[in-house]
Chains A and B, each alone.
Chain A
Amino acid sequence: MSTTQVHANLTDEQVREISGNLDEPEWLLETRLEALEALEELDMPDVIRTPGRDWTNLHELDFESLVDPLNAAENKDQVGPDEVDVLPWAEAVDEHEELLKEHFGSIVDPQENYLTALSTALFSTGTVVYVPEGVDAEDVTIRTEQNSRSLFNYTLVVTEESSSVTILERQSTGEEQAEQYYSGIVEIAAGENSYVQYGSLQNLSEDAYNFTVKRGVTDTYATIDWIEGNLGTQLTKTEVSTELNGDSSETQIVGAFYGHNDQHFDLDVKVWHRAEHTTADLVTRGVTDDVARSVYEGVQDVGRDAWDTSSYQRENTLMLSDESEADASPKLIINNHDTEASHSATVGQIDAEDLLYMTSRGVDPRSARNMLVEGFFVPVLEEVDVDELREDLEDLVAARLRQRT
């Protein structure tokens, strides 16, 4: 399977130029160059296979023409309250080099696969959110509007002891092109007894490709809650995951997606229980319409030392058309018997009895169906702390329903 293409058009010089423009120290440049060199040997990330079928074929993507390393036009907003550092990458390099040295690439290995390495070698924009000890911060917002053919983005969140932060990250497309590629890596290091809610709303152009890995690591008593909303792109491959490394740490991973036309979503959700008394709750709900496809894989991995683990996973997909496709595989790996766990996945269509119940009370069939779909997302939306994210997700779902013929 290792038919991964190496970029003939990517050079050391380009990587040096990107790094130099950001005034990066030598060790960062080295990390980038090593990632570039590793491309030759690295494979594409794992995709989900069902018998006789690869759902997502990343090899088909023509990265050669998609990637335009020195053009990274974007509009960016990076805002947050005063007590928190919300820094563009170059400023973070300047002000927090030790922090970056400690955390950059420590959670998502740059050489984990071909696409993480590509992202590491070429990222030209990024944000570092640093929350000092004891600070409670809300409304950190990172908006990225892509105006270039390719854009490689990096985000690092570090929370110190007993701090908390809610972050909303959103990606959209400004100037549309026939094909665009967005790549994002997010690392979160949640310090002892800290709380992070990281909400993401991906609403890129429906001609775009998207590869994202978001991963967090918890210290003792820390909590990382993810909200992962996917509406845009023609192909999205994402992973959202948490390593529960501290005793009594927790995570919740909440996902919502809505695919229509020929959109394709490949969604990985993972949790590794690596300490005692940890809790994970994975909840994803999605809709597929037209000829859209979704493939979901959720993994709860309970390690040998993860005594007293609680781990729950639910995934529900609602298919609005007969031609759309959805596959879901929840997986549970238990290496410690002291575990309470559940996992389930359903794929279904709108229930005819539910619809009749509503129409028999006078609601017209389209409104009834739309209420059912909007209601279907409510359990997920209820978990969102950030009003802007919840409201925008609601509006985008409502607008997409309205578009239906």
Chain B
Amino acid sequence: MARLELNNLHAEVAEGDEKILEGVNLEVESGEIHALMGPNGSGKSTTAKVIAGHPAYEVTDGEVLLHLEEDEFGEEIEIDEDQRTWNLLDLEPNERAALGIFLGFQYPAEIDGVTMTNFLRTALNAKIEEREELFEGEEGDDEDEADEGFETSPMEGPADEGEVGVAEFQEILQEKMEALDMDERFAQRYLNAGFSGGEKKQNEVLQAAILEPSIAVLDEIDSGLDIDRLQDVSAGINALRDEQGTGILQITHYQRILDYVEPDHVHVMLDGQIAKSGDASLAAELEDKGYDWVREEVYGTA
């Protein structure tokens, strides 16, 4: 079990002093599905990016904590008592990923020349390796670290096999792609390059399925999806929760996806804060009454 905790989180754009988050409080636990809703510019995407460690935002106050339990990463990794709470703001994005944070991007990058297979296997192995370093700390010699991971060629994959070898990885990938109803040819394509909007979103869910995060923040994973793909993606998200116990923070504008991925909790964000929280019925109420209703209720003005 893991728990992501945002306390009084304040953030602004790093270049400039535009305040975007003004005291966000939120907790997401493994196995829970949270929907984070709100109008454009309310701070939903910024919340996601700050959790992942986007360099464009500066946190000015508050904290982002990740609480882990002893057995979060299985039997092989022992988590001492003093290593169970991490302040994510002190960590690099790849270290956060190693601790089990996943950000599904609203606009996934297109990376030409790097195949899906090579990228994902590199990521999976890097994550395992980084996790060992974070918890065991014995391979923390910087020079060793610098020498590793450079044997990668975009066409052939790392010469150094890493924890998960090529053959083993192919199996994992194939299985997860089948589960998501993805064409196996995707594996040899370059990462998101020339993918349709829907294919990119499907690919985000696939990557989450392979990296098995403790907490997945999915930023508008539902935008631009047709109904068939929406169902595939939704099934993928439900599987993350049901099969891997991932906690989901789902950012969305629309009620639509919530018909397929039923949230345990719904939060409404306004002006950089969580203005209102409730259960799934809150989403339905929002659909009827709009965000102004929340604004009115919370601030007493429309």
A-side residues, CB < 8 A to B, are 351-354, 356-368, 370-372, 374-379, 381, 394, 398, 401-402
Contact between chains at A362 and B123 (CB < 8 Å): yes
Closest to B52 in A: A360
Q: How far is the CA of A394 from the CA of B113 in the complex (A)?
A: 12
Q: Provided the pairs A362-B123, A364-B126, A379-B113 are in contact, do residues A370 and B150 lie with their beta carbons within 8 angstroms?
A: yes
- Cα of A363 to Cα of B56 in the assembled complex, Å: 19
- Residues on B with C-beta less than 8 A from A359 are 53, 92-94, 97
Are A367 and B150 also in contact (CB < 8 A) when A356-B55, A361-B97 are?
yes
Segment of B4-12, B19-27, B102-110, B220-228 engaged in the interface with chain A: B102-110
Of the residues A351, A352, A365, A379, contact of B94 by C-beta under 8 Å: A365
- Cβ of B66 under 8 Å from chain A: no
Q: Which residue of B52, B112, B123, B146 is within 8 Å of A363 (Cβ)?
A: B123
Known pairs A358-B119, A358-B123; A363 contacts B113 (CB<8 A): no
Interface segment among B68-76, B152-160, B230-238, B275-283: the answer is: B152-160
Cβ < 8 Å to A, chain B residues 257-301:
none
In angstroms, how far is the closest chain B Cβ from the Cβ of A281? 17
Write the nearest CB–CB distance from B152 to chain A, whole angstroms: 6
CA distance A380 to B97 in the complex (A): 32
- Residue of A360, A366, A368, A401 touching B53 (CB-CB under 8 A): A360
B-chain residues with CB within 8 Å of residue A362 when the two chains form the complex: 94, 97-98, 123-124, 126-127, 130, 211
| B149:A354 contact, CB within 8 angstroms | no
In the complex, are the beta carbons of B123 and A394 less than 8 A apart?
Answer: no
The answer to whether B126 and A374 touch across the interface, beta carbons within 8 angstroms, is: no
- B116-131 vs A, CB cutoff 8 Å, 1 = contact: the mask equals 0011101110110010
B109 contacts A351, C-beta separation under 8 Å:
yes
Contact pick for B149, options A356, A364, A377, CB 8 Å: A364
Q: How far apart sit A357 and B112, CA to CA, in the bound complex (Å)? A: 13
Type the 1/0 row for B139-174, where 1 means its CB is closer than 8 Å to any CB of A.
Answer: 000000110011111110000000000000000000
Of listed B105, B112, B150, B151, residue having the most chain A CB within 10 A: B150
**Number of chain B residues close to chain A: CB under 8 A:** 41
Alpha-carbon distance between A108 and B183 when the two chains are bound, in angstroms: 52
The yes or no answer to B249 lying at the interface (CB within 8 A) is no
Give the 4 A-B CB pairs with smallest separation, nearest first.
A375-B113, A378-B113, A362-B127, A367-B149
The 27 sampled A-B contact pairs (Cβ below 8 Å) are A357-B109, A358-B109, A358-B111, A359-B53, A359-B93, A360-B103, A361-B123, A361-B211, A362-B97, A362-B98, A362-B130, A362-B211, A363-B122, A363-B126, A364-B92, A364-B94, A364-B130, A364-B145, A365-B92, A366-B146, A367-B152, A371-B119, A375-B114, A378-B154, A381-B155, A394-B155, A398-B152
Per the bound structure, the CA–CA distance linking A150 and B218 in Å amounts to 61
**A394 and chain B: residue at smallest CB distance:** B153
Complex contacts, A352 vs chain B, CB 8 Å: 55-56
Residues of B within 8 Å of A402, CB to CB, are 150
By secondary structure, the A interface counts as helix
Distance in angstroms between the alpha carbons of A352 and B109 in the assembled complex = 10
Q: Nearest-CB distance from B122 to chain A (Å)?
A: 6
B154 to A354, Cβ gap below 8 A? no
Q: In whole Å, how far is A33's beta carbon from the nearest beta carbon of chain B?
A: 50
Instruction: Give A360 to B109 CA distance when docked, in angstroms.
Output: 12
- Bound Cα distance A216, B144 (Å): 49
Question: For residue B124, which residues in chain A have a CB less than 8 angstroms away from its CB?
Answer: 362
Given A352-B55, A357-B108, A365-B92, also A374-B113 (CB < 8 A)? yes
CB distance from A88 to the nearest CB of B (A): 35
Q: A351: shortest Cβ distance to chain B, in Å?
A: 7
Q: Which residues of B contact A365 (CB under 8 A)?
A: 92, 94
Nearest B residue to A399 by beta-carbon distance? Answer: B150
The answer, yes or no, to whether B207 is at the interface (CB within 8 Å) is: yes
Q: Check if A353 sits within 8 Å of B154, measured CB to CB.
A: no
The reply to whether A354 and B109 form a contact with Cβ atoms under 8 Å apart is: yes
- Chain A residues whose C-beta falls within 8 Å of the C-beta of B53 in the assembled complex: 356, 359-360
At the interface, yes or no: B54 with Cβ under 8 Å from chain A?
yes
Find chain B residues with CB under 8 A from A368 CB.
Answer: 94
A358-B123, A362-B97 are known contacts. Are A353 and B113 too (CB-CB below 8 A)? Answer: no
Give the docked Cα–Cα distance between A357 and B105 (Å): 8
Inside 8 A of B105's CB, which chain A residues have their CB? 357, 360
Are A398's CB and B153's CB within 8 A?
A: yes
A366 neighbours in B (Cβ, 8 Å)? 146, 149-150
Name the distance in Å between A392's Cβ and chain B's nearest Cβ. Answer: 12
Q: Once bound together, how far apart are the Cα atoms of A360 and B93, in whole Å?
A: 5
Q: Are A370 and B152 within 8 A (Cβ)?
A: yes
A379 and B211 alpha carbons, distance in the complex (Å) = 28
State in angstroms the CA–CA spacing of A357 and B108 once bound together.
Answer: 7
Chain B's closest residue to A381 (CB) is B155
B123 vs chain A, min Cβ distance (A): 4
| Complexed CA–CA distance, A354 and B55 (Å) | 12
Are B126 and A353 closer than 8 Å at their CB atoms? no
Residues of A contacting B119 with CB < 8 Å? 358, 361, 363, 371
CA distance A368 to B154 in the complex (A): 11
Residues in B neighbouring A370, C-beta threshold 8 A: 149-150, 152
